[in-house]
A and B are shown apart, each in its own frame.
Chain A
Amino acid sequence: GNSVTQMEGPVTLSEEAFLTINCTYTATGYPSLFWYVQYPGEGLQLLLKATKADDKGSNKGFEATYRKETTSFHLEKGSVQVSDSAVYFCALSPRDGANNLFFGTGTRLTVIP
């Protein structure tokens, strides 16, 4: 089956610290992988994505590499800012048909000045 396991959190970091949020998955076939971000009071927004093995998604200083050998898609950022405080969701899509997008439980990040 399809599932996503995500680092629980919450995570609290000082500004300019390095961020890693772990995400591993199980999937049938070759899914697309996503990181979504949810800022307070808002819906989810796509942060980055990767559609095949070894692809690196990047956006706003965040990066994640699709690792088929370790079934992982860890989110990283070299220097976080207060404005990065949000909840981050890892997700996978089997891509074909109307199949559900499978989400992790989310990781709340708080960045303190």
Chain B
Amino acid sequence: DAGITQSPRHKVTETGTPVTLRCHQTENHRYMYWYRQDPGHGLRLIHYSYGVKDTDKGEVSDGYSVSRSKTEDFLLTLESATSSQTSVYFCAIKEASTGELFFGEGSRLTVL
């Protein structure tokens, strides 16, 4: 258990509304990631962070923003949700010495 908590675990929202997903870790890891999982695509990186206030884009970053104001929290925001953002979102932290990722339990988002 790498001490990763995602919230909310499930959310249903309407097109055009803002949504924020939270990832919280308790073990002071430097690197944090947000992925989305969709059938036929595996996991695709949205954004990642390599320290407080240090973030960068992944391969599917359009329509998403992130913030990391403190080590333990990494927020993913959909400014104006669209149906194409219906997905399961996973947060992960990276164990720097091995490259291994530890994942949260996922947040299922449905945009109607």
Contact = CB atoms under 8 A, between A and B. Distances in A.
Interface centre among A44, A94, A105 (most CB of B within 10 A): A44
B43 A93 contact: no
A105 to B, nearest CB: 4
Interface in B35-54: 40-43, 45, 48-50
Given A89-B43, A98-B94, A43 B99 contact: no
Nearest to B102: A46
Contact of A98 (B50, B98, B100, B104): B50
Contacts of A104: 42
B27 to A, nearest CB: 16
B94 A34 contact: no
Interface residues of A, number: 25
A95 B99 contact: yes
A97 B105 contact: no
Given A89-B42, A98-B48, A98-B50, A43 B103 contact: yes
Contacts of B45: 100
Contacts of A19: none
B37 to A, nearest CB: 8
B101 interface: yes
B101 A49 contact: no
Interface string A83-98: 0000001010111011
B98 A32 contact: yes
B50 A43 contact: no
A103 interface: yes
Contacts of B99: 31-32, 51, 93-95, 101
B50 A100 contact: no
| Shortest beta-carbon contacts, A-B, top 7 | A93-B99, A98-B50, A105-B42, A43-B103, A95-B99, A32-B99, A103-B43
Interface of B: 30-31, 33, 40-43, 45, 48-50, 56, 58-59, 90, 92, 94, 98-106
14 contacts: A6-B42, A44-B101, A45-B103, A46-B102, A49-B100, A91-B101, A93-B100, A95-B99, A98-B48, A100-B33, A100-B59, A101-B92, A101-B99, A103-B43
